Structure 1
Amino acid sequence: MLAKLARTALLIAAIGVAGCNDSSMKDFAPHANKPLPDKILASMKAKGMTRTSPVMARIFKEEGKLEIWKAKTNGRYDLVASYDICKWSGKLGPKYTEGDRQAPEGFYTVRPAQMNPRSSYHLAFNIGYPNVYDRANGRTGSHLMVHGACSSSGCYSMTDAQIEQIYAFGRDAFQGGQTEFQIQAFPFRMTAANMARYRKDPNYEFWKMLKVGYDNFEITKVPPKVDVCEKRYVFNQVAPDGETFDPTGACPATTQPDSLKSAFNAYQSTYEAAFSGAVKASVPAPKPTIAGIKEASIVSEWSKKRARGERVPIEPPSLNADGSLTATARMGRIDSPAGRKMAALDAEKAAKQKAEEQRLAAIEAAKAEKQAAKAQALAEKETARINSLAEEEEARAAAEAPVATATIASTPDAAPAATQAANAGESRTTRLKKKLLGMFGG
């Protein structure tokens, strides 16, 4: 066993396999040889599986699940373990180009040389992106993994405990003689309800193509035979003797077992009825998806700038349905002289902007102070004028009071009236003063 793993390690080193650009060359990791838990082994035995029987995996992004299926003694596969994906990056939809941070979708193949027991992400295996389909469609990228450490920039990342078990499933199957195992990566479980939810998505035609492979497995419970022609996947098709599948050329005339064809047609009829019902039903809103190669190129450019150490938003930009971009305001780290220069320029710009804001604020404050002083002076002037008018009125009232008193005093009985007249005069003066002060804010 150790000798076989050592040979695998040499192959890994030769082709530069690494978990999400992992270039670790650590000593052999004991955790790569951990046995599966007794509980899982007992479940496998109960289902008619052996520890070294063939294996395959299915991934569902939206549900966040990675499933392990193993072959039973009758050749059909059954689910043996399911894991919550710790983290995957990007959105629903395929990977288009290097740096778009998309986790791949499609049908991939893992061979022993793709297993990495010395990954700096605990353990890892390369899923085989780009495959024949990806290359035929000009899609690029490298080092796309299933690995541990719960950290992803285009990979499917698990916890360390999870990857130890997932890695062990593949390791044991290779030990049993399986030369490669299939990974099926989907945006979601391809049910009628989910397909109806995403029927208007720009990736829908791609997903319809993947669904044919999904359906073939659902019907047969055997990993489908996968080929590519006319730049598209074809499943469980047999080419005539002497003919092959050309990924970019025309598909050959193919045949398929009648039993499979009949089962598929029956399955499809049931699906179409369910799909029609799902279109009319109330369903959860679709999750964000990548808007094709245009958004992939925008994110890829962001990744290049980030790799150069330039200051970029901490999260990649997102292309909206109306063609506009959404980017977070928070900026990422600075990792290079160019990035530090950009940061210095941004800081200088921010300082100038702050100084200008302070200057304008000072001008506004001075204007406000001047207006307040002017208003105060006007108020004091008006108060003085009102006081002067009041004093004049009081003087006139005082000058008229003796005449009234003398006239009234000649009649002894009129004394109370004189007092009332004097009080009335004072009352009028007071009221006039209050009225004037009220008119001018006094």
Structure 2
Amino acid sequence: MFAKFARTGVLIAAIGVAGCNDSSMKDFAPEANKPLPDKILADMQAKGMVRTSSVMARIFKEEGKLEIWKAKTNGRYEMVASYEICKWSGKLGPKYTEGDRQAPEGFYTVRPSQMNPRSNYHLSFNIGFPNAYDRANGRTGQNLMVHGACSSSGCYSMTDAQIEQIYAFGRDAFQGGQTEFQIQAFPFRMTAANMARYRNDPNYEFWKMLKVGYDNFEITKVPPKVDVCEKRYVFNQVAPEGTTFDPTGPCPATTQPDSLKTAFANYEKSYDAAFNSAVNSSSVAPKPTIAGIKEASIVSDWSKRRARGERVPIDPPSMNSDGSVTETTRMGRIDSPAGRKMAALDAAKEAKRKAEEQRLAAIEAAKAAKEQAKAQALAEKEAAKQAAQQQVVTAGVEPAQPAQETQQAADADQGTVSKLKKKLLGMFGG
């Protein structure tokens, strides 16, 4: 049933198979031409695939996996390779704004022009962020890639050996006529158990929307047709002829094949039972997730300051469940032209600060010396004054000594006169 449906092209309209001439392919990837390993080619052949058949990728953050799926001759897809993601940045949850260091989640499209054989990260391809959904919801960012070099600031980074194979899958599919392939990026495998674990997360409603596309692929094993209307994803919906999906406008009346609707309803019924069971059972604790645009804005501001070369906490800030923000105490700046320029400006500013500090210290020292000299002069003046006063006191006491001697001398003289007088009187009969 689904193989026939897939061959009608309804579900794979988003894949867009068309021709691609040799000249454009040579221009597209002249250096990224390593063939896939013989073992992978043998596995593909055993599964009914050809080297150049259509391809798609699925990414699961929490599990750290990137899967490659290829179309078989019956039109349905089967996984042909799985890789451990070497590094991805941020937390579980979508990318909100430029600089939030979040690896995107959603449904993205890769075309030949997005492949880069001369990447600074060995090989790379841009996943197509922002897509129609992201733009409709005001989400910003650029240059979000799957690449080598195992280094990430918002991308999905692989080892060089891994990206050579992943790149080859896309290259071969383009050579076979596929004009674009789909990347489905999820926070985790969207099982009932995992959805139950994250049922209280602020990103849960977004993840429920992604799960519809996830379920469509699980049911059909064909990449879903993806559209956006009313600022949300819609999957495998067929609009009436002459109408289109407006990402920010109302969704048109759509239809789905009855076989798909029935299969989806049965799938959801089984899922609901598993979800309810998982809610009441113990499970692994949820991993950290981004707390919406508020945390994204805080991290984005950190990224901007870091890019300007400022000294910032080594790790991005993180928002806690109570709304508080945690930052690491270790500070540093990136080694870049901006960082070195900022370091020089900071050094000059610090030197100026120290010089001003020394100038003020010298002024204070001179002021203190002047005050000390003034105090010393006052002390000397006071000492001189006290010395003068002491001399005056001394001058008032010392004359008493000569006066007493004078009186004694006078008394002596008087005695002498008396004696002489008595003598004369005696001589002349007085």
Q: 3-state SS of the aligned residue for 2:313? A: coil
1:3 paired with 2:20, answer no
CA deviation after TM superposition for structure 1 residue 4, in Å = 2.8
Which of the numbers 333, 338, 342 marks the counterpart of 1:338? Answer: 342
Distance change >3 Å, CA 192–CA 342, structure 1 → 2: farther
8 Å contact kept, 2:25–2:175 = no
Give the match for residue 288 of structure 1: 288
CA deviation after TM superposition for structure 1 residue 342, in Å = 4.3
Q: Deviations over 1:332-364 (max 9, x none)?
A: 225143344447878989xx9xxxxxxxxxxxx
CA deviation after TM superposition for structure 1 residue 169, in Å = 0.1
Give the match for residue 400 of structure 2: none
The amino acid across from 1:186 in the alignment is F
Moved over 2 A (4+): 1-9, 336-349
The amino acid across from 2:315 in the alignment is E
Q: 3-state SS of the aligned residue for 1:261? A: helix
Mapping of 1:196-215 within 5 angstroms?
196-215=196-215
Q: Which runs of 5+ in 2 are unaligned?
A: 1-20, 358-430
Give the match for residue 312 of structure 1: 312
Give the match for residue 156 of structure 2: 156
Q: Deviations over 1:106-138 (max 9, x none)?
A: 000000000000001000000000000000000
d(CA) in 2 for partners of 1:108, 1:48 = 26
Tell me the matched-pair count.
Answer: 330
Q: 3-state SS of the aligned residue for 2:312? A: coil
Mapping of 1:230-249 within 5 angstroms?
230-249=230-249
d(CA) in 2 for partners of 1:50, 1:101 = 37
The amino acid across from 1:265 in the alignment is A
Bigger relative contact order, structure 1 or 2, given CA contacts below 8 A and separation 6+? 2
Q: 3-state SS of the aligned residue for 1:121? A: coil
Give the match for residue 180 of structure 1: 180
The amino acid across from 2:260 in the alignment is L
1:82 paired with 2:82, answer yes
d(CA) in 2 for partners of 1:88, 1:37 = 26
Give the match for residue 25 of structure 1: none
d(CA) in 1 for partners of 2:350, 2:171 = 51
TM-score (structure 2 length as normaliser): 0.74
Give the match for residue 216 of structure 1: 216
d(CA) in 1 for partners of 2:273, 2:304 = 46
d(CA) in 2 for partners of 1:332, 1:188 = 33
Q: Deviations over 1:280-333 (max 9, x none)?
A: 110011000000000000000000000000000111000111111111111122
CA deviation after TM superposition for structure 1 residue 157, in Å = 0.2
Cα RMSD of the aligned pairs, angstroms, is 1.7
Q: Deviations over 1:75-133 (max 9, x none)?
A: 00000000000000000000000000000000000000000000010000000000000
8 Å contact kept, 1:182–1:223 = yes
CA deviation after TM superposition for structure 1 residue 241, in Å = 1.2
Give the match for residue 50 of structure 2: 50
Mapping of 1:381-392 within 5 angstroms?
none
The amino acid across from 2:311 in the alignment is R
The amino acid across from 1:288 in the alignment is P
Give the match for residue 391 of structure 2: none
Mapping of 1:3-402 within 5 angstroms?
3-8=23-28, 29=31, 32-334=32-334, 335-342=339-346
CA deviation after TM superposition for structure 1 residue 211, in Å = 0.1
Q: 3-state SS of the aligned residue for 2:316? A: coil
The amino acid across from 2:342 in the alignment is A
TM-score (structure 1 length as normaliser): 0.72
d(CA) in 2 for partners of 1:344, 1:160 = 42
* Higher Cα radius of gyration: 2
Q: Deviations over 1:349-381 (max 9, x none)?
A: 9xx9xxxxxxxxxxxxxxxxxxxxxxxxxxxxx
Give the match for residue 392 of structure 1: none
Q: Which runs of 5+ in 1 are unaligned?
A: 10-27, 353-442
8 Å contact kept, 1:310–1:342 = no
Q: Deviations over 1:1-50 (max 9, x none)?
A: 873344336xxxxxxxxxxxxxxxxxx53xx1000000000000000000
